[in-house]
Amino acid sequence: MTYFDNTGREDVLGGGSQMIPVTTPAGEFRVWTKRTGSNPEVKLLLQHGGPCETHEYLDEFDSFLPAAGVEYYYYDQLGSGRSDRPDEPSLWEIPRFVDEVEQVRQALGLGPDDFFLYGQSWGGVLAVEYALAHQQHLKGLVISNMMMSIPAYNAYAQSALMPEMDPAALAEVQRREAAGDTDDPAYDELLMPHYERHVLRMPAEQWPEPVVRGFAAINKKIYVPMQGPSELGASGKLLDWDRTADLHRIEVPTLVIGGQHDTMDPEHMREVAGAFPKGQYLHCPHGSHLAMYDDQETYMSGLTDWLAAQA
């Protein structure tokens, strides 16, 4: 087993940051968290997308959650950002990630009187899986920009997203994916018009710095085997993931957030919100996959109002 330590990153600790030990089948590693604020009734653990992006693109929460009185925790999942990055493919499985979240919860002292779990994109997959395994520890759940079925997501990509692309560009994207030739910057350039329509609705050169920084730090050694090479549908280990039939089992208050222009079908998001016994849907009419930026007022006010209502 090759193990890459985060030597040189310890200077990021401080100001509420801590490295939490996590026990795995491949040994003990450390994951990074950072706490902001204090609220005995609302403690929000933020799970980033990817798999294995970083918390950095969520930095915009600093502009809204403190004023709303929310206590919140940034968190880089194992393999991501400031957390340890073991080169151990056996660790990149959903149940192992769920167990990691539970260990983080215990270390932070979160429980049913205060613990809200937020998951954006891949983080939404992980949040639902955690709730199905450990909802007794939750006070509430937030699912942001994540369909509850990868087969349904791929069908939406085929029927709604791919037809919008330039046919020649789409053909070249698919050729490169079939050949495993996706590391060339030209591959990303082919996808950029799709990303500017459905991931963040502004020219790429205007994307906020935290988004650019977070996307640049994606650990592709984990992202590609689990998600696939791009945001134009999903493949890899997540290909058959589908929890639509299990959502009725999650009884805690649940907020589902979707965007009209998201890579995720907004009608699916609205429907699955109704599948949770205590579900509520927040629609961002101008939003895409990163609606916290391109429909910011709707997204942030809707999230903070919902959290306040659960306190």
Active site residues: 121, 262, 289
Phi, psi angles (nearest 5°) of residue 259: -120, 145
Contacts 24+ apart (CB under 8 A), 161-164: 161/194, 161/198, 161/232, 161/233, 161/263, 162/232, 164/194, 164/197
- How far is it, in rounded angstroms, from Cα 65 to Cα 47? 15
- How far is it, in rounded angstroms, from Cα 147 to Cα 295? 19
Q: How far is CA 142 from CA 28, 92, 153, in A?
A: 29, 23, 19
Answer whether 70's CB lies under 8 Å from 41's CB. Answer: no
DSSP SS3 for 242? strand
Taken as a whole, the chain contains a residue count of 311
As given in the structure block, the two tokens for residue 27 are 């040994």
- How far is it, in rounded angstroms, from Cα 188 to Cα 201? 16
